Amino acid sequence: MARQSISFTKPNDEWLKTQVDSNEYSSKSELINDLIRQARKQQAQIDWIRAKLDKAENSGFTNDSKNEILAKSKSLLNG
């Protein structure tokens, strides 16, 4: 595992200490790694949505009503 040295502002350091002190995490490193995992997951979701939006924008127009589009979307979500 790579070892890094980083600096935090006082409010951020206090928040990190609070999280560790409340036994949410065993160390600041564990907490930082979890925050990075969450950010990476969020970025992956944003990238997925962007790709879907790009595909939709490039697919052209539809004559379907908004209710038809909503029904199709719900059926896709529900499998």
Question: What's residue 71's pLDDT?
Answer: 93
Cα 74 to chain centroid, rounded: 22
Buried b / exposed e along 31-56 (16+ C-beta atoms within 10 A): beeeeeeeeeeeeeeeeeeeeeeeee
pLDDT tens digits, one per residue of 11-25: 999 999 999 999 999
pLDDT tens digit string along 35-63? 999 999 999 999 999 999 999 889 888 88
pLDDT at 57: 87
28 CB neighbour count, 10 Å cutoff: 15
Residue 27's pLDDT is 96
| pLDDT reported for residue 62 | 84
Indicate whether this model's pTM tops 0.85. no
